[in-house]
Structure 1
Amino acid sequence: MSAPASPPLPPARTGAPFRASAGVRAAGVLLALYTLYALSQLDFSWQRFSEGLGHGARLIGKMFPPDLDKWDILGKGIVESLQIAVLATALGIALSLPVGFLGARNLMPAWVTWIARFIVAVCRSLHPVIVAIIFVKAVGFGALAGVLALTVASIGFIGKLFSEAIEEISPKQVEAVRATGASFMNVIAFGVLPQVFSRFVGFATYQLDSNLRNSTMVGIVGAGGIGGALFSAFQRFDYGFVFTILATIVAIIVAAEIGTNALKKALDV
């Protein structure tokens, strides 16, 4: 008995296999034209750019040798920045978990997700420095304003990504847990969280790194941390101490990156 004939192959495509469509090419042209228009409106010139490089080189030259005599100011500011970042990350994660669940369209009704996503959108709308200024006016100068400002930023970032991660889970595991008669919280604990845990750890560690950096910026407007000392050093033209602060911040970020990578390996995520 002869084998059945195989179905005919589809006709081969002619032309370039990865050629962009007309719409994509038109969008690229429009983007290039707008870029040139924006450059012309912002008074950008290569002369200003080259002069800026020279000014930047002279500024960096003034930072050497570094000032290592103000360890008390540096240590106090760095410790406060670390405290702000850790507290803001912890509060942001605690508040982002319910917001992320409520914003997932595959778990909640539409009217609930709209409210949760509106909260996330509000938290993401303003830069942490602007939020820090608002909280400085509300609660006064100090670390509390910085913690509150970075908590709002953490909710905007983690809440959005966490709700999107939940929407991408496989429904089979969720339905299997529901078929056992489990409650809603058990469905969340055994059907949803195991599928998004690794991604959530990544979101949380990235937000901690981001809050470590942002704690410097909010300090410039009086919300605690090393940012206030950095701004004062710039005002005093104390560029040696500026370099010491910046180098310490870089070292902390690198150490945090090494620590988060070790944590991910320990958790096997």
Structure 2
Amino acid sequence: MDVTARRAFAPNWQGRAALAALALYCAYAVSQLDISGGRLATGLGEGARFLARMWPPNFERWDTLVEGMVESLQIAVLSSAAGILLSLPLGLMAARNLAPWWLSGPTRGFVAICRSLHYVIVAILFVKAVGFGALAGVAALTVASMGFIAKLFAEAIEEISMKQVEAVRATGAGPFAVLLYGVLPQVASRFIGFCIYQLDSNLRNSTLVGIVGAGGIGGTLFAAFKRFDYDFVAAILLTIIALIFLAEIVSARVRKALQ
């Protein structure tokens, strides 16, 4: 009887070829983008001098700082609430195990469009449409929230057990009762987690949309950069970091309480 000798760990030539191609492309991209160690060393030195100019932080204009942070918080809360409310029907219509193909397909396409553009780009579009201010920021982050929550909500619905849904339907319940008693109990905890995460994300994002004129602390930060007021920039950045840390603590406790 012939015994064919086989290696215990045969080499994966396709994987090695893919890694080699990736390495070659990275080397090509570095050469095209003019990335060099000399530029990196120069940048580190300039960065150290820039950080030195930011110290110590200047909190004398605390009223302007508080006003911008409050506006960013309002933008985050309003955009999260609007995005969550709009994502509920979108997620249900995008779920392929509940909605027919002619409804789930276009809905998924709309959700993909909401998710395809970065929220800063969407904020620029809304600034051009409705003008400078918090309204553009709320609208931009609402679109971003819809793209994120509706997609995850639809995927969560597609993973539910249809036995519970069929059991509710067998009682003669209508479509709304089926959703209320057969679908939502299976995805409620995950949906709450999605909402908490999106609120946390919008709180961070609301500090950036102001850079393009969509309200919030971002506008104050950008104005301070243009005035070379770096000590006030440091105060703004430290305040943003503190707010994000506080939001992380609160969201973690809320998640723990809901488990």
- TM-score normalised by the chain length of structure 1: 0.89
Q: CA offset at residue 192 of structure 1?
A: 1.6
Structure 2, unmatched stretches of 5+, are 1-5
Map of 2:3 onto structure 1: none
| Secondary structure at 2:8 match in 1 | coil
Q: CA offset at residue 20 of structure 1?
A: 7.7
Residues 97-142 of structure 1 show CA distances to partners (whole Å, capped at 9, x for unaligned) of 1111111111111111111111111111211111111111111111
**d(CA) in 2 for partners of 1:20 and 1:253?**
47
Is 1:26 aligned to 2:17, yes or no? yes
Map of 1:99 onto structure 2: 90
Is 1:184 aligned to 2:148, yes or no? no
**d(CA) in 1 for partners of 2:44 and 2:147?**
36
**d(CA) in 2 for partners of 1:24 and 1:98?**
43
Map of 1:87 onto structure 2: 78
Residues 229-265 of structure 1 show CA distances to partners (whole Å, capped at 9, x for unaligned) of 0001101111111111111111111111111111122
The correspondence for 1:253, drawn from 238, 244, 249, is 244
Matches within 5 A, 1:1-269: 15-16=8-9, 21-268=12-259
Change (3 A) 1:25 1:161: farther
**d(CA) in 2 for partners of 1:91 and 1:229?**
25
| Secondary structure at 1:123 match in 2 | helix
**d(CA) in 2 for partners of 1:21 and 1:201?**
43
How large is the RMSD of aligned CA atoms in angstroms? 1.7
Q: Percent identity?
A: 65
Change (3 A) 1:20 1:220: farther
Residues 144-176 of structure 1 show CA distances to partners (whole Å, capped at 9, x for unaligned) of 111001101111111111111111222222222
Say which is worse superposed, 75-84 or 49-58, in terms of deviation: 49-58
**d(CA) in 2 for partners of 1:30 and 1:202?**
40
Say which is worse superposed, 47-56 or 149-158, in terms of deviation: 47-56
| Secondary structure at 2:112 match in 1 | helix
**d(CA) in 1 for partners of 2:141 and 2:11?**
42
Query: AA paired with 1:265?
Result: K
Structure 1, unmatched stretches of 5+, are 1-12
Aligned positions, number: 254
Query: AA paired with 2:133?
Result: G
**d(CA) in 2 for partners of 1:21 and 1:105?**
38
**d(CA) in 2 for partners of 1:32 and 1:59?**
34
Say which is worse superposed, 148-157 or 198-207, in terms of deviation: 198-207
| Secondary structure at 1:216 match in 2 | coil
Query: AA paired with 2:101?
Result: A
